[in-house]
């Protein structure tokens, strides 16, 4: 019997392995991803489910034992809340301004960097540096060393010109915040546009030259259309990140003066962690997430058409 065993199990084993293999293979692929997936669910999905649950409750931490179900009341409040509307408008304005200005500056710098000159590598590194600084640090840096009315560099320069000192953060809060965001995001836009410029065929530019186009005409008629997908990509990615701006506002203005620089993330933070109104803040959060998903899915679809066209071109 023992001698017979091997020949029997021999052919049987591979058959068994074959039957199990598609499943096994699938698990071999899933397994390394599972920890990340579980982690993602724990830190994002479970809190979100709780948030949805809280959003149907009236629950203020200041008044213990006041927690009770209120149905859609919190949501109704969101849409009648004028502070929410203001925050939304601030959010849109801030993001649009920062993205637009940093894109224009980024294109300008990229065009300058696209030509050879001694020290180009150093200049490029220096220009990228602001993007590598933590937003919190950037906010603090600008608030103190740059814009402080007493010892800030900008006011020092203004005084040299004979102008009166300006308390930028208090007198022009929106402009100050946007300046910092632009300072941080211009390098990002520059890098994307630079990649676009360097992917442009030199022969096309030469053809335009032979066809009689000057430098400006070539840029407008040939280079900008070529850069369009890159500009779209930069605007899109920039907007996705800038919509979530919190650190800079927290560091520089705390959403003020008044509500001048309160955007949605900061407003949410105020309701939840300064007002302790968990129910209302949860409803706000859910509405914001829904809105973001809506905008992001439209944006992502756009993003994929950008990739599709570059692929077709290649």
Q: Is 216 in the site for another protein (CB under 8 A)?
A: no
Residue 69 is given by DSSP the state: E
Reduced to 3 states (helix: H, G, I; strand: E, B; else coil), residue 263 is coil
Q: How far apart are the first and last CA of the chain?
A: 66
The residue from 110, 177, 197, 222 that contacts another protein (CB under 8 A) is 222
The residue from 166, 209, 246, 299 that contacts another protein (CB under 8 A) is 209
What's the CA gap between 105 and 26, in Å, rounded? 48
Shortest distance (Å) from residue 228 CB to another protein: 8
The residue from 24, 71, 206, 257 that contacts another protein (CB under 8 A) is 206
The residue from 198, 217, 297, 305 that contacts another protein (CB under 8 A) is 217
Contacts of residue 90, Cβ cutoff 8 Å, sequence gap at least 6: 174, 259, 260, 261, 262, 263
Number of CB atoms found within 10 A of residue 44's CB: 10
Q: Which residue's CB is nearer to another protein, number 200 or number 259?
A: 200
Q: Is 311 exposed, middle or buried (0-12, 13-18, 19+ CB in 10 A)?
A: exposed
Q: Give the interface segment with another protein, choosing from 34-42, 106-114, 124-132, 217-225 (CB under 8 A).
A: 217-225
Residues in 7-36 at the binding interface with another protein, rule: CB under 8 A: none
Q: Is 212 in the site for another protein (CB under 8 A)?
A: yes
Residues in 184-203 at the binding interface with another protein, rule: CB under 8 A: 201, 203
Number of CB atoms found within 10 A of residue 175's CB: 12
Whose structure tokens read 């030259």?
Answer: 209
Q: Which residue's CB is nearer to another protein, number 32 or number 225?
A: 225
Rounded to the nearest 10 degrees, the angle between the axes of helix 73-80 and helix 82-113 is 60
- Residue closest to 280 by CA, chosen among 271, 288, 289: 271
Reduced to 3 states (helix: H, G, I; strand: E, B; else coil), residue 151 is coil
Contacts of residue 197, Cβ cutoff 8 Å, sequence gap at least 6: 110, 111, 114, 223, 227
Distances (CA, A) of 77 to 39, 65, 83, 90: 33, 22, 11, 19
Asked if residue 303 lies in contact with residue 286, where contact means CB atoms within 8 angstroms, the answer is no
Q: 224: which 2 tokens?
A: 């900008």
Q: Is 232 in the site for another protein (CB under 8 A)?
A: no
Shortest distance (Å) from residue 312 CB to another protein: 6
The residue from 226, 232, 247, 299 that contacts another protein (CB under 8 A) is 226
Q: Is 124 in the site for another protein (CB under 8 A)?
A: no
The residue from 37, 38, 76, 221 that contacts another protein (CB under 8 A) is 221
Binding string, 284-313, against another protein, x = CB under 8 A? ----------------------------xx
Whose structure tokens read 């998903």?
Answer: 293
Q: Which residue's CB is nearer to another protein, number 221 or number 300?
A: 221
The residue from 204, 290, 302, 308 that contacts another protein (CB under 8 A) is 204
Shortest distance (Å) from residue 222 CB to another protein: 6
The residue from 208, 243, 268, 283 that contacts another protein (CB under 8 A) is 208
Which residues of the chain form contacts with another protein (CB under 8 A)? 201, 203-204, 206-214, 217, 221-222, 225-226, 228, 312-313
């Amino acid at each position: 019997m023992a001698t017979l065993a091997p020949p029997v199990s021999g052919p049987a084993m591979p058959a068994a392995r074959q039957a199990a293999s598609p499943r096994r293979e699938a698990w071999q692929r899933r397994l390394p991803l599972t920890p990340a997936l579980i982690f993602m669910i724990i830190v994002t999905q479970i809190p979100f489910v709780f948030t949805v649950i809280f959003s149907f409750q009236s629950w203020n931490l200041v008044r213990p034992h006041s927690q009770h179900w209120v149905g859609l009341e919190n949501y109704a409040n969101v849409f009648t809340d004028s502070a929410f509307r203001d925050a939304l408008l601030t959010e849109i304005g801030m993001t649009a301004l920062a993205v637009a200005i940093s894109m224009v500056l980024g294109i300008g710098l990229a065009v300058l960097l696209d030509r050879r000159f001694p020290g180009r590598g150093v200049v490029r590194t220096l220009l990228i540096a602001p993007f590598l600084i933590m937003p919190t640090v950037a906010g603090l840096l600008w608030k103190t060393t740059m814009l402080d009315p007493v010892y800030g560099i900008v006011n020092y320069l203004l005084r040299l010109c004979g102008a009166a000192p300006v308390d930028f953060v208090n007198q022009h809060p929106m402009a100050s915040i946007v300046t910092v965001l632009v300072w941080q995001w211009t390098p990002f836009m520059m890098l994307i546009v630079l990649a676009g410029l360097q992917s442009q065929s030199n022969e096309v530019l030469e053809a335009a030259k032979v066809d009689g186009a000057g430098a400006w005409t070539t840029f407008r008629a040939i280079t900008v259309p070529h850069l369009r997908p890159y500009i779209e990509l930069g605007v899109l990615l920039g907007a996705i990140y800038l919509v979530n701006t919190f650190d800079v506002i927290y560091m520089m203005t705390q959403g003020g003066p008044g509500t001048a620089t309160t955007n949605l993330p900061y407003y949410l933070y105020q309701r939840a962690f300064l007002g302790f109104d968990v129910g209302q803040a949860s409803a706000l959060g859910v509405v914001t997430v829904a809105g973001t998903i809506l905008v992001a899915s439209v944006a992502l679809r756009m993003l994929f058409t950008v990739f599709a066209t570059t692929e077709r071109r290649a």
